[in-house]
Amino acid sequence: MKTRTLAMVSAAIEAATGVALIAAPDLVARVLLGAGLSDSGIAVARVCGFGLLALGLACWPGSDDATPQATRALFVYNLLAGLYLGYLRVGGGFVSPVLWLASGLHVVLAVLFARPALR
């Protein structure tokens, strides 16, 4: 898969997740984690949504290929998110099966970004 296409897919996923967190943070938490959020959790989730939306927009490739900075940022984000979501499912006490899907998707994206990010 070309780096540009990979960056577009990953950036679109992050931007969409950001919009979902801004619009309905409690719903996203219930689907992803199987647990609701407190009022302060909703506030933090919305700020996280702002960040994910910004990451998606910043990493969207231009007319050429994805920039090295965007590729590295998406690699690091996907690696850390995949590992942390996997940890939440295995050792964090969260039981939602969606966590496996989200963790796996992020790990796969990180693996695909590894070569172009570490060039």
Place of tokens 């172009």: 116
Q: How many residues would you count in the chain?
A: 119
Q: What is the pLDDT of residue 59?
A: 93
pLDDT tens across 69-114, in order? 999 999 999 999 999 999 999 998 898 989 999 999 999 999 999 9
Q: Measured between alpha carbons, how far is 116 from 114 in angstroms, rounded to an integer?
A: 6
Question: What confidence category does residue 1 fall into, taking pLDDT thresholds of 50, 70 and 90?
Answer: confident
Q: What is the pLDDT of residue 95?
A: 86
Q: Measured between alpha carbons, how far is 51 from 57 in angstroms, rounded to an integer?
A: 10
Name the residue range of residue 83's domain. Answer: 3-118
Q: What is the pLDDT of residue 65?
A: 81
pLDDT tens across 8-44, in order? 999 999 999 999 999 999 999 999 999 999 999 999 9
Q: Measured between alpha carbons, how far is 49 from 108 in angstroms, rounded to an integer?
A: 22
Our count of domains for the chain comes to: 1
Q: Measured between alpha carbons, how far is 5 from 96 in angstroms, rounded to an integer?
A: 30
Q: Could you tell me which residues come within 8 angstroms of residue 15 by beta carbon, excluding any fewer than 6 positions away?
A: 52, 53, 55, 56, 57, 60
**Is 62 a residue whose pLDDT tops 90?**
no
